[in-house]
A = this chain, B = another copy of it.
Amino acid sequence: MPELRQDIVTGQWVVVAAERARRPTDFTRPPRPEAEDRATCPFCPGNELMTPLETLAVRPTGSEPNTPGWSVRVVPNKFPVFESGGPPVSGTALFPRRNAEGIHEVIIHSPDHDASLATLEPDQVELILRVYRQRYRAHRENPSIRYLHFIINHGRESGASREHSHSQLFGVPLVPPLVHQELAGASWHQTSRGECVFCRITSEEMDGVRRVVLRTKKYVVIAPFASRLPFELWVLPREHQESFDMVDDEQLEDLAHVMKDVLGRYREGFDDPPYNAYLHTSPCDGTEYPYYHWHFELIPKLTTPGGFEMGTSMWINVTTPEDASDFLSGRSQGAPGL
């Protein structure tokens, strides 16, 4: 029997209909797009001038900007979704619009065209996460930005336009609706129950084990109770922490291992699937959100949302998070329903 599950943070209901995963088409993937030619990959060393000039690069002291030698490189997106400085547009009461003010950067994960977070050395992953923290701190005072949204689209079937591993940072001039929903839920829980809802979920899950995929000194990785899609995972710091820019070096080191480990489990379990990953953290809009608790959300792209999802804003998930967690934690062999 399919069931409706509610995410206690956002209030969203998800349909968990695991019977459907018995259909053999559920986890088959379309043929992969053709591999890109490295000679024309703007993220490869030697092609630095194919991107806008670099904003930041981790490179040996004294080496020239926009030349090879870097290990992580940050450049403005060539086709920004948010940018500043255009002539202002104005809408009408019926058709409101405004400039998409903000920033849009690309963080190139390494010089290696074929590497990904699952295959890079932990030190390199840590360096990337350090750059995240640096970019957060660099932009948080920008008055036109209210939220900094870090994402990874891995594999071109995930929405990535380039296969060379990279993150994107969107500086958004409003608090996105999904983050707003999480903040509202977390605030309500703090006020009415006197505790952080994410701390509470983490502690309940660690008592229960059934949806825990991994735990380390600093993090716990769970398949959330109301997972929207098969094998969705949340990476939560065990200690309460509102915003990602508060992470210390020890936390970053552990996080690098955790990200590499769980993304490696996707890679292993589903033959390097496309996935989306993003950070949820406090808005940088001048308000304090002490009841919020930053975390990463990871979602492999194994199924295709359709007219149900588009027309309702609800999700149908064909794999229970309990099965997903069993599989990804190694408690069971073989993908569920296959």
- A contact residues vs B (CB 8 Å cutoff): 1-6, 8, 12-13, 15-17, 19-20, 22-23, 25-26, 30-31, 33, 79-83, 85-87, 89, 91, 93-100, 149, 151-153, 156-161, 168, 170, 172-174, 176-179, 181, 200-201, 204, 225-226, 276-280, 297, 299, 303-314, 316
Q: Are B170 and A308 in contact (CB under 8 A)?
A: yes
Question: Shortest beta-carbon distance, A319 to chain B, in Å?
Answer: 13
Select the residue from A17, A201, A304 with max chain B CB neighbours within 10 A.
Answer: A304
Question: Shortest beta-carbon distance, A283 to chain B, in Å?
Answer: 12
Q: Which chain B residues border A82 with CB–CB below 8 Å?
A: 2, 15
User: Given A3-B89, A96-B6 in contact, is the A177-B225 Cβ separation under 8 Å?
Assistant: no
Checking B2, B297, B305 against A81 with a beta-carbon cut-off of 8 angstroms, the contacting residue is B2
Residue of B nearest to A26 (CB): B161
Q: Which chain B residues border A305 with CB–CB below 8 Å?
A: 159
Question: Shortest beta-carbon distance, A12 to chain B, in Å?
Answer: 7
Residue of B nearest to A158 (CB): B306
Q: Which chain B residues border A19 with CB–CB below 8 Å?
A: 79-80
For the complex, give the distance between the alpha carbons of A87 and B1 in Å: 8
User: Given A158-B306, A161-B25, A176-B313 in contact, is the A4-B280 Cβ separation under 8 Å?
Assistant: no
Q: Which chain B residues border A26 with CB–CB below 8 Å?
A: 161
For the complex, give the distance between the alpha carbons of A316 and B22 in Å: 33
